[in-house]
Structure 1
Amino acid sequence: MSANVTVRGSEDVTASEPTALTQDRTVAVVGTGTMGQGIAQVALVAGHPVRLYDSAPGRAREAVDALTARLDRLVEKGRMDASAREAAVARLHATEELGELADAALVVEAIVEHLPVKQQLFADLEKVVGDDTVLATNTSSLSVTAIAGGLRLPGRFVGLHFFNPAPLLPLVEVVSGFATDADVATRAYETMKGWGKTPVRCADTPGFIVNRVARPFYAEALRVYEEGAADPATIDAALRECGGFRMGPFELTDLIGQDVNEAVTRSVWESFYQDPKFTPSLAQRRLVESGRLGRKTGHGWFSYAEGAERPKPHTAPPAEAPARIVVRGALGPAEPLVGLFEQAGIKVRRTRGDGFVELPSGGRLGLADGESSFEYGPEEIIYFDLAFDYASASRIVLSARKRVDPETLNEAVGLFQALGKQVSVIGDVPGMIVARTVAMLVDLAADAVDRGVATAEDVDTAMRLGVNYPAGPLEWAEKLGPRRVCDVLRALHERYPTGRYGPSQAVARRCAEADEEDS
């Protein structure tokens, strides 16, 4: 599910166009908090002279001391030699006046996320630095275009969105505002490569790439929780142990800070004029209002008090596996399960059909498709969730209506336990957990590409590196097939007719193209 797009500032580079800043050019960082110090460290290790400025007296000097201590620790760990450390410290300087940044070739701002404050800072900087100085903001939530709106030379302004911790995480989003010159974006991009980072280009859109496309990872988990289908620990386990994600959304937002995550969600939602695809969660809002912000306050979705036990995901007790099953039709993305069943000693008979596994009791198992099991009336339907890789998944999630026959449910549980999987049984929820989350991630990713926000390759790279997804959403879409993604979204849209799940034009178009190819 890709498209050919041109992101502003991503035109082909010719030999006459500017390249990365050379190491002799000075880099200035304004703001000496966690991000400012991290960015300064990256530039310093890359070989540049670095100047730190902070409006609070003495803060820049404190930051220099903190950075020096960081370099000392790198030496102690054998990740930097002593001579390189001495040279880096000699290139690092604290400044008390903006005027001392006059000869900087690049100024990166990492101050408070407040538009008027940033606008004033860059207006002041423009009076000091040369016309060829590149001005950059590390904003994660504000419009790059708006920050540069009042500048005399807005073309030399660009977004450089680093991810925390900046010295460790490779991704940098190079954001072109409405007025950003293409050669400035190219110089910023090449400079980030020179610093050892993996830059991606994107247009100035709410949330840029990562914070725009990632919203469903949190939103769908919160929606399943709000519907009472599963608890946070079980939802986290489903996305981690079945979906292949590094962390579950509840534990991740506790780490990020519930207030921070909720503020980004709200900002993106409001910036898109309250588009239902980005609607915030009332449950998360209540958590923030209660002061349970996560690890930093000792309690979020989970307690972090000393000695507190983490809730365990719901795991079904051992059940006997059926000796034989019937696989009716192809199972699509779940087709690898057939071989796994056979390897576990379960006799499998294949017949034509509509993609279900028939159990000895007569009940049927189907891959989550956006429908609910209760819609089948008295027929015994149990859904199992999408896995990134069924062979390596350590947990399988099942969903069934409350009145499902216990014998049928036990057969389903035992079937997957025979593969060495833990099994979680959740409530009857359309699209379950992983399938609906992935479908929505694909939808937002495809829409971003279709609207020229970034290329498909850059979107996938950003999501793999920025938030550690097991695969880029568009790469995953190719694996699933456009029709399945579209069918899941359409089924969800029928059951939640709010516009949240209506397939984007990008997804709908690719699905129609696939239908034409098959006809």
Structure 2
Amino acid sequence: MTSAFSTSSSAYAPHNVKNITVFGSGLMGAGIVQVAAQNAFNVTMVDLNPEALKKGQDIIASSLKRVAKKQFPEDAAQQKTFIDKTMAQIKTSTDSEAASKDADLIIEAIVENLKTKQQLFSMLDKVAPEHTLFCSNTSSLPIGEIAKATKRTDRFGGLHFFNPVPQMKLVEVIRTEETSQDSFDSLMEVCTRMKKTPVSCKDTPGFIVNRLLVPYMMESLRIVERGEATPQDVDVAMKLGAGFPMGPFELADFVGLDTMKFIVDGWRKEGKIDDNLVAPVKLLDDLVAQGNFGRKSGQGFYPYNGVGGKK
């Protein structure tokens, strides 16, 4: 059945995605739900419990208020109409099976754990319609390995959005060796309809952005660990000398030092990247061990005004 599906364009016509189900209601999941709803997709946000979904709804509501004020700065009525119309496109559910019944596209934005993602997609593969496309928003795990948990590897790809999703225009669209052309075309079209700029990349470690960015940040750590410069001087140098909007240490704090370590440790274990680029850095390991993850914890290379606050 799978091989017949991958060679037939009649079973699933590209560009007709209407209903999207997003698993995960954290910053990434809620952001994806928001941009999909803003652009007329019917969206269902799924999480384990009502409390998590409420937090996701609050994230969306707060973000929509900012967007509405920017789009209609002098018109409170239009602001309200915009917010109400967008929120009307969103449903929430704690029932994974029911939320998948009418989905044309399922996007997973849960914890970065390969086994957990595989378990989710294995379950969804049994209940979602045959035509449904599956996607992971992972930033570092191999899409092909996640897809192996299903029998629809031709209808499986990656949609890697960037944080904060409503503001960041880029989406990396990842195709594996088995992703069909119809599936890939559909994912590119979905991104365009979300008013994002999609780029195509293969299923390689870090895809494009993180493959370049993480080694750059790791080398910045090594410069500081060797005593060659301070984090502050490195950040100033890269902002004023290279034109970067944020220095590597500011960026590491924003991304999350625990996330950065997780990515590098995973790449090192996978063994597909030069060992020198992913060698451990004690400075990073110590901060993570101390629970200093950056902005999210209130302390990283810089102190922040409360959890998630500004410097």
TM-score w.r.t. the length of structure 1 is 0.52
Tell me the distance in 2 between the aligned counterparts of 1:90 and 1:49.
9
Secondary structure of 2:41's counterpart equals coil
Tell me the distance in 1 between the aligned counterparts of 2:149 and 2:288.
35
Q: Does the 8 Å CA contact 2:22/2:29 hold for their aligned counterparts?
A: yes
Change (3 A) 1:242 1:137: same
Tell me the residue number matched to 1:409: none
Secondary structure of 2:245's counterpart equals coil
Tell me the residue number matched to 2:301: 301
Tell me the residue number matched to 2:199: 200
Where does structure 2 lack aligned partners over 5 or more consecutive residues? 1-8, 73-77
Tell me the distance in 2 between the aligned counterparts of 1:137 and 1:174.
10
Is 1:20 the equivalent of 2:15? yes
Change (3 A) 1:95 1:205: same
Secondary structure of 2:88's counterpart equals helix
Q: Does the 8 Å CA contact 2:27/2:59 hold for their aligned counterparts?
A: no
Q: Which has a greater percent of helix?
A: 2
Tell me the residue number matched to 1:498: none
Paired amino acid for 1:82: K
Output aligned runs, 1:255-294, within 5 Å. Answer: 255-273=254-272, 275-294=275-294
Q: Does the 8 Å CA contact 2:173/2:188 hold for their aligned counterparts?
A: yes
Change (3 A) 1:82 1:294: closer
Tell me the distance in 1 between the aligned counterparts of 2:52 and 2:299.
31
Tell me the residue number matched to 1:217: 216
Aligned residues: 290
Change (3 A) 1:170 1:285: same
Is 1:60 the equivalent of 2:60? no
Paired amino acid for 1:29: V
Secondary structure of 2:296's counterpart equals helix
Tell me the distance in 2 between the aligned counterparts of 1:230 and 1:72.
42
One of 97, 100, 124 as aligned partner of 1:99:
97
Secondary structure of 2:195's counterpart equals coil
Tell me the residue number matched to 2:4: none
Tell me the distance in 1 between the aligned counterparts of 2:86 and 2:190.
18
Change (3 A) 1:73 1:249: closer
Tell me the distance in 2 between the aligned counterparts of 1:110 and 1:121.
11
Change (3 A) 1:297 1:68: closer
Change (3 A) 1:298 1:126: closer
Tell me the residue number matched to 1:82: 80
Tell me the distance in 2 between the aligned counterparts of 1:246 and 1:76.
25
Secondary structure of 1:267's counterpart equals helix
Tell me the distance in 1 between the aligned counterparts of 2:200 and 2:281.
30
Q: Does the 8 Å CA contact 1:18/1:186 hold for their aligned counterparts?
A: no
Q: Does the 8 Å CA contact 2:65/2:79 hold for their aligned counterparts?
A: no
For residue 64 of structure 1, report the CA deviation from its aligned partner: 3.6
Secondary structure of 2:123's counterpart equals helix
Paired amino acid for 2:24: G
Tell me the distance in 2 between the aligned counterparts of 1:230 and 1:69.
39
Paired amino acid for 1:142: L
Tell me the residue number matched to 1:39: 32
For residue 37 of structure 1, report the CA deviation from its aligned partner: 0.5
Tell me the residue number matched to 2:231: 232
TM-score w.r.t. the length of structure 2 is 0.85
Where does structure 1 lack aligned partners over 5 or more consecutive residues? 1-13, 311-519
Change (3 A) 1:65 1:224: closer
Tell me the distance in 2 between the aligned counterparts of 1:283 and 1:277.
15
Tell me the residue number matched to 2:241: 242
Q: Deviations over 1:293-345 (max 9, x none)?
A: 22333332233369xxx8xxxxxxxxxxxxxxxxxxxxxxxxxxxxxxxxxxx
Pair member with larger Rg = 1
Q: Does the 8 Å CA contact 2:162/2:171 hold for their aligned counterparts?
A: yes
Tell me the residue number matched to 2:75: none
Tell me the distance in 1 between the aligned counterparts of 2:66 and 2:291.
35
Q: Does the 8 Å CA contact 1:64/1:93 hold for their aligned counterparts?
A: no
Change (3 A) 1:171 1:227: same
Secondary structure of 2:299's counterpart equals coil
Paired amino acid for 1:249: P
For residue 19 of structure 1, report the CA deviation from its aligned partner: 4.2
Change (3 A) 1:73 1:222: closer
Q: Deviations over 1:406-438 (max 9, x none)?
A: xxxxxxxxxxxxxxxxxxxxxxxxxxxxxxxxx
- Farther off after superposition, 71-80 or 92-101: 71-80
Tell me the residue number matched to 1:117: 116
- Farther off after superposition, 177-186 or 27-36: 177-186
Is 1:253 the equivalent of 2:248? no
% of aligned pairs identical?
A: 37
Tell me the distance in 2 between the aligned counterparts of 1:84 and 1:192.
21
What is the root-mean-square deviation in Å for CA atoms of aligned residues? 2.4
